[in-house]
């Protein structure tokens, strides 16, 4: 069994011998307590999935563990017992319970939280967010309104049961449960009353309105001058989350707008401004990952060139805009499971992968994720950067079996034509060389993508043989050597002194990356080969001919 957000393996030496480290064990207990709880297996090494067959655990050692954890931690509930593996070996199982209403800490005042397979420290400025998230972690299973199954919306109840039994993602074992067992399985029912999650899903509109805080969604359309020209509002609480997503998609005709592009010799292909799968995934994410203990509406703002989705509350601790592709923490665990089982969203940790893949297959920019003061904003753009990239990706997919990560990498490299390794790592949100190679995978093995240079100067580019007979098969300046580019800039400034970077870029060729041109000119200014004048926004560049005289 691999380590993850709910499971950790520890060597027996952690709690025995001269090198025992109970402080490290306490840190892991705190991390689990401040998230969703978990299990610590003492007596299993990191590279194994079972204890040694002849390993025996002394009860006195288990008792010492029971004694030491409370001495080193605060607000941490746990259970310790000796387990026997099927191979005959014994190990110590520590079950750490989630600290539902308080913050767990070490006795010397340190805070940790479990993120993926690591326990990370909670910084002082993150403590407020942890306090805010605590009630959100238990909101779903709480009973506030004493609503029995008989008093819920019976139509919604029948729809829910029917949806579960017809879902391809639900096992036959679950489908065979009785209605009460099915509701309990999804934490909708506690055996007597509906939970908050139950009321959100199968409650009446009045019951849903009494929740703190049932989601309200606002759709606002703006013109090019940022004036509001249209508004739709979902605030009557008549719809459960599934119906809300469906209504948002069906009620907004702007989702069906797009452009046609050439698809081969005789065909045309419609590329919608906003792909249905992307819109549904983003709205589902907004509903699933928002804290339901915080007031705030979900805003869907449509501009002429972009779509913004504003979700109240910040990202969970450990998740940031720069690691959202690789890090996932479920704030509403049971709602997330329900959404996944009903095919309303992708599996945990793969939702943004799907968004990236879909946008890149349509040659569109990557989504922009930002944390504001009290909300998370996701922006996607409707601009197609280069329609030729769409046909290239389709051609490669027809000839090679590529997985989702490889398609994402292919889309990024194809849009940029060539891209330096550091910028590529930033776009796939990784600095781990092993992880980057894993993402590139068969793109390198099949030589679809080639590399040039080493370390920080390395570049990725599409193999010219792959580009053969495609619209992208043409020579441009994107791979020009640095010294040749500098000479080109110097020659341009000889003819056209006092030019801005944008003017130089226009003359050299707009297909050339503006970022590389800026870097080249800035470096030449540092070496005083090029002079400049004016403020940053209106700065102009020239060659001082007097210096050479």
- pLDDT one-digit tens code per residue, 482-541: 788 888 899 999 989 999 999 998 888 766 778 788 888 999 999 999 999 988 778 999
Q: What is the pLDDT of residue 453?
A: 83
228 and 357 fall within a common domain: yes
Q: Per the domain annotation, does 189 fall within a domain? A: no
Q: Lowest-pLDDT range, 191-200, 249-258, 463-472?
A: 463-472
Q: What is the 3-state secondary structure (H, E, C) of 172-229?
A: HHHHCCCHHHHHHHCCCECCCCECHHHHHHHCCHHHHHCCCCCCCEEEEEECCCCCEE
Cβ-Cβ contacts under 8 Å for 206 (sequence gap 6 or more): 237
* pLDDT of 349 above 80: no
Q: Per the domain annotation, does 198 fall within a domain? A: no
446 and 305 fall within a common domain: no
Helix (H) or strand (E) holding 259: strand 258-263
341 and 393 fall within a common domain: no
How many angstroms separate the CA atoms of 468 and 447, rounded? 14
Q: Are 92 and 82 in contact (CB under 8 A)?
A: yes
423 and 284 fall within a common domain: no
* pLDDT of 101 above 80: no
**What CATH number corresponds to the domain at position 491?**
1.10.10.10
Q: Mean pLDDT for the chain?
A: 90
Q: Which of 381, 399, 427 is the last residue of a domain?
A: 381
Q: Per the domain annotation, does 167 fall within a domain? A: no
Indicate the number of domains in the chain: 4
**What CATH number corresponds to the domain at position 115?**
3.30.950.30
450 and 516 fall within a common domain: no
Q: Per the domain annotation, does 400 fall within a domain? A: yes
Grouping H, G, I as helix, E, B as strand and the rest as coil, residue 164 is helix
Q: What is the pLDDT of residue 548?
A: 47
Query: If you write DSSP's letter for every residue of 52-96 in order, what string do you get?
Result: -TT----HHHHHHHHHHHHHHEES-EEEEEEEE-TTS-EEEEEEE
* pLDDT of 168 above 80: yes
463 and 494 fall within a common domain: no
Q: Which of 381, 396, 414 is the last residue of a domain?
A: 381
Q: Per the domain annotation, does 224 fall within a domain? A: yes
- pLDDT one-digit tens code per residue, 150-167: 999 999 999 999 999 999
Name the token pair of 1.
Answer: 């069994």
Q: Per the domain annotation, does 300 fall within a domain? A: yes
Q: What is the pLDDT of residue 124?
A: 81
439 and 524 fall within a common domain: no
Q: Identify which of 97, 95, 89, 96 has the alpha carbon closest to the alpha carbon of residue 43.
A: 89
- pLDDT one-digit tens code per residue, 353-386: 999 999 999 999 999 999 988 899 999 999 998 8
Residue 339: domain span: 219-381
Q: What is the pLDDT of residue 508?
A: 82
**What CATH number corresponds to the domain at position 374?**
3.30.565.60
- pLDDT one-digit tens code per residue, 171-197: 999 999 999 999 999 999 999 999 999
296 and 442 fall within a common domain: no
Task: State mean pLDDT over 120-124.
Answer: 87
* pLDDT of 549 above 50: no
Task: State mean pLDDT over 307-335.
Answer: 86
319 and 422 fall within a common domain: no
Q: What is the 3-state secondary structure (H, E, C) of 298-352?
A: EEEEECCCEEEEEEECCCCCCCCCCCCCCCCCCCCHHHHHHHHHCCCCCCCCCHH
Q: Which of 70, 94, 122 is the last residue of a domain?
A: 122
Of 288 and 130, more confident: 288
315 and 425 fall within a common domain: no
Q: Per the domain annotation, does 152 fall within a domain? A: no
361 and 253 fall within a common domain: yes
488 and 544 fall within a common domain: yes
Q: Per the domain annotation, does 174 fall within a domain? A: no
């Amino acid at each position: 069994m691999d380590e993850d957000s709910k499971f950790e393996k520890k060597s027996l030496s952690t709690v025995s011998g001269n090198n025992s480290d109970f402080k490290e064990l306490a840190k892991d207990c705190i991390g689990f307590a401040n998230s969703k709880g978990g299990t610590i297996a003492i007596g299993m090494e990191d590279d194994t999935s079972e204890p040694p067959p002849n390993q025996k655990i002394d009860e006195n050692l288990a008792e010492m563990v029971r004694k030491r954890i409370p001495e080193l931690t605060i607000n941490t509930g746990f259970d310790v017992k000796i387990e026997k593996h099927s191979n005959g070996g014994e190990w110590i199982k520590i079950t750490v319970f989630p600290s539902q209403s308080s913050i767990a800490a070490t006795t010397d005042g340190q805070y940790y939280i479990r993120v993926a397979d690591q326990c990370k420290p909670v910084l002082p400025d993150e403590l407020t967010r942890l306090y805010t998230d605590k009630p959100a972690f238990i909101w779903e299973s709480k009973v506030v309104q004493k609503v029995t199954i008989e008093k819920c919306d019976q139509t919604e109840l029948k729809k829910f049961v029917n949806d579960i039994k017809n879902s391809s993602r639900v096992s036959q074992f679950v489908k065979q449960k009785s209605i009460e067992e099915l509701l309990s399985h999804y934490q909708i029912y506690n055996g007597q009353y509906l939970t908050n999650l139950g009321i959100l899903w199968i409650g009446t509109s009045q019951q849903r309105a009494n929740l703190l805080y049932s989601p309200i969604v606002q759709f606002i359309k703006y013109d090019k001058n940022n004036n509001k020209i249209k508004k739709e509002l979902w605030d009557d609480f008549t719809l459960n989350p599934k119906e809300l997503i469906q209504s948002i998609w069906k009620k907004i005709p702007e989702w069906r707008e797009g452009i046609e592009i050439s698809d081969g010799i005789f065909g045309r292909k419609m590329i919608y401004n906003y792909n249905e799968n992307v819109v549904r995934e983003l709205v589902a994410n907004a509903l699933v990952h928002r804290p339901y203990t915080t007031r705030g509406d979900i805003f869907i703002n449509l501009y002429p060139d972009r779509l913004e989705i504003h979700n109240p509350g910040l990202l969970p601790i450990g998740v940031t805009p720069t690691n959202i592709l690789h890090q996932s923490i479920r704030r509403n665990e049971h709602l997330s499971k329900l959404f996944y089982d009903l095919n309303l969203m992708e599996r945990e940790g793969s939702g943004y992968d799907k968004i990236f893949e879909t946008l890149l297959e349509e040659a569109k920019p990557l989504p922009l994720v930002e944390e504001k003061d009290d909300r998370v904003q996701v922006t996607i753009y409707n601009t197609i950067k280069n329609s030729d990239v769409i046909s290239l990706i389709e051609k490669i997919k027809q000839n090679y079996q590529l997985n989702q990560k490889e398609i994402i990498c292919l889309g990024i490299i194809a849009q940029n034509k060539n891209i330096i390794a550091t910028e590529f790592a930033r776009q796939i949100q990784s600095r781990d060389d092993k992880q980057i190679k894993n993402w590139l995978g068969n793109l390198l093995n099949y030589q679809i993508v080639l590399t040039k240079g080493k370390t920080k100067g390395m570049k990725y580019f599409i193999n010219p043989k792959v580009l053969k007979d495609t619209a992208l098969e043409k020579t441009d300046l994107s791979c020009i050597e640095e010294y040749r580019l500098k000479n080109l800039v110097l020659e341009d400034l000889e003819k056209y002194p006092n030019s801005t970077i944008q003017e130089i870029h226009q003359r050299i060729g707009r297909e050339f990356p503006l970022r590389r041109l800026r870097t080249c000119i800035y470096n030449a200014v540092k070496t005083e080969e090029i002079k400049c004048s004016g403020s940053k926004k209106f700065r102009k560049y020239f060659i001082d001919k007097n210096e050479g005289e």
